[in-house]
Amino acid sequence: MFLPEKMKTYELTVFDTALGHCGIVWSERGVAGVQLPEATAALTRQRLSRRFPAAADAVPPPEIELAIDAIRALLRGERPDLSGVAIDLESKAPFERSVYEIARTIPPGTTLTYGDIAKRLGIARDAREVGRALGDNPIPIIVPCHRVVAADGRMHGFSGPGGVKTKLKLLEIEGYERIPGPSLFPSF
């Protein structure tokens, strides 16, 4: 695994959304972490502090404020374009960064499968490795891992708070409509 620069400075802020309190961490390179909605600001800050222990509370610079506004808009059901948000994935391996780059191309309200991403990578990696990379995604929403589903369309494997329920909620907000039909697991 690639480690961040020794003296990299991280800053963070917590902000309200339609679904609860989110948080964002950034460096001079861009967004390094996003915390999905939690019930309280304290819980959001606590989760972010575990992932970024040296991050200091700060007032977001304009480019981070734009990212926050876009996250708020998405969680209100709007379709902002987050593809231009600068991100800092320096600590991630090249394979993970490639997976995240493809995931960022998935439009709101649509999905790709883990296998689709593996095929787009054009390398001998299977869907499970794509799933592992997305399970370690430090910047959900900006890297929309919730838009990646199993080959059969089932929703599973979401590592964010609330698990699959959060994944389904995010997709519902974006207007995703599952293909109707019988299922052994109707809630998935």
Rounded-to-integer distance, Cα 139 and Cα 100, Å: 9
Rounded-to-integer distance, Cα 8 and Cα 29, Å: 10
**Catalytic residue selected from 31, 139, 145, 149:** 145
Amino acid identity, residue 55?
A
- The answer to whether the CB of 29 falls within 8 A of the CB of 86 is yes
DSSP for residue 110: -
Q: Which two tokens stand for residue 159?
A: 């590592």
Q: Which two tokens stand for residue 82?
A: 């987050």
Rounded-to-integer distance, Cα 136 and Cα 145, Å: 10
Q: What is the pLDDT, as a whole number, of residue 127?
A: 86
Rounded-to-integer distance, Cα 91 and Cα 64, Å: 20
Catalytic (active site) residue 145:
yes
Q: Of all residues in the chain, what percent are helix, strand and coil, respectively (each to 5)? A: 35, 20, 45
Q: What is the chain's pLDDT, residue by residue, as a tens digit (188 residues)?
A: 444 445 679 999 999 999 999 999 999 999 999 999 999 999 999 999 999 999 999 999 999 999 999 999 999 989 898 989 999 999 899 999 999 999 999 998 888 998 999 999 987 558 888 989 998 999 999 999 898 888 877 776 666 676 777 788 888 888 887 654 444 344 44
Rounded-to-integer distance, Cα 166 and Cα 83, Å: 21
